[in-house]
């Protein structure tokens, strides 16, 4: 939902919600709040632990600078439960910054988790060393930033990347797996969705999902569906599908 005249308080992530009625926000979040956002005395903000916990706060004192701090008065604590029906986006590794864009858009659209997939036709290759770790951290950073921007109570977990064989095991354990495939016979709108459990939403790479991968996923119980009559980029497909799933299921009710 878009902001109405800037009335929605910004969200800042903390490892855990503070106890009591007063708190001090420090570190990078405080620098962003005090120096970038220029929050001052009397303005509102929300602290989030990224796991459903929220604290509505008012700034008592702002100390900008390299060692910025905000002294906060906690007005109210609340908890947003996780949805009974969750959606994990299985996102094939994409070249350049398209993978991070996919995570950002999926997070804004409500993804509960992201599972990077080493698909056969993925141009990007994450090794198991420092380069792969940095790529994974960029995806996780994109999820955190997008969750704050979207004022979400839950930050999606971004798992370590999986092979197709490992993905097949996840498909067997899911309540439902939908594979976005432009050539699929059935539309997403006709898919039967469960009331609870985990739905895997599989998005292939720029070159598409191979016939062998489709067969392996289908053998584990996955269903291929199409979004419409056009072909979307790998970076935008999950976000569009999440919107449709929100309407078709109980997630947006």
Could you report the per-residue pLDDT of 161-196, keeping only the tens digit for each?
999 999 999 999 999 999 999 999 899 999 999 999
Answering whether pTM is above 0.75, one says yes
Residue 203 lies in a domain: yes
Q: Which residues span the domain enclosing 45?
A: 11-79
The top-scoring range by mean pLDDT among 29-33, 36-40, 107-111, 246-250 is 107-111
111 with 74, same domain: the answer is no
Alpha helices in 49-124 (DSSP H): 98-108
Q: Is the pLDDT of residue 3 over 60?
A: no
Q: What is the pLDDT of residue 210?
A: 97
Look at residues 62, 30, 26, 27 and name the one whose alpha carbon lies nearest to residue 43: 62
Task: List the structure tokens of 57.
Answer: 């706060």
pLDDT tens, position by position, 196-218: 999 999 999 999 999 999 999 99
192 with 215, same domain: the answer is yes
Residue 198 contacts residue 156 (beta carbons within 8 Å): no
91 with 73, same domain: the answer is no
Residue 181 lies in a domain: yes
d(CA 52, CA 249): 21
Residue 124 contacts residue 99 (beta carbons within 8 Å): yes
39 with 134, same domain: the answer is no
Residues 6+ apart with CB under 8 A from 203: 89, 90, 91, 92, 102, 180, 234, 237, 238, 241
190 with 103, same domain: the answer is yes
89 with 66, same domain: the answer is no
Mean per-residue pLDDT for 20-37?
Answer: 91
Look at residues 60, 59, 72 and name the one whose alpha carbon lies nearest to residue 23: 72
113 with 55, same domain: the answer is no
126 with 243, same domain: the answer is yes
pLDDT tens, position by position, 77-94: 999 999 999 999 999 999
């Amino acid at each position: 939902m878009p902001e109405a005249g800037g009335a929605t308080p910004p969200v800042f992530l903390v490892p855990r919600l503070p106890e009591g009625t007063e708190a001090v926000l420090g570190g990078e979040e405080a620098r962003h709040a005090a120096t970038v956002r220029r929050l001052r005395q009397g303005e509102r903000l929300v602290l989030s632990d990224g796991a459903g916990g929220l604290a509505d706060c008012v700034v008592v004192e702002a100390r900008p600078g390299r060692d910025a701090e905000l002294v906060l008065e906690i007005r109210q604590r609340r908890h947003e439960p996780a949805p009974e029906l969750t959606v994990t986006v299985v996102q094939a590794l994409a070249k350049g910054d398209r993978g991070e864009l996919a995570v950002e858009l999926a997070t804004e659209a409500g993804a509960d988790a992201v599972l990077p997939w080493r698909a056969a036709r993925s141009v990007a290759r994450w090794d198991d060393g420092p380069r792969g770790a940095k790529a994974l951290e960029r995806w996780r950073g994109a999820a955190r930033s997008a969750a704050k921007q979207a004022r979400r109570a839950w930050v999606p977990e971004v798992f370590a990347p999986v092979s197709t064989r490992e993905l097949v095991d996840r498909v067997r354990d899911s309540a439902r797996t939908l594979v976005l495939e432009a050539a699929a016979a059935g539309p997403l709108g006709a898919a039967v969705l469960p009331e609870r459990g985990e739905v895997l939403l599989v998005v292939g790479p720029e070159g598409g999902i191979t016939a062998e991968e489709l067969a392996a996923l289908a053998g584990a119980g996955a269903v291929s569906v199409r979004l419409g009559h056009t072909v979307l980029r790998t970076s935008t497909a999950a976000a569009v599908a999440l919107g449709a799933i929100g309407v078709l299921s109980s997630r947006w009710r």
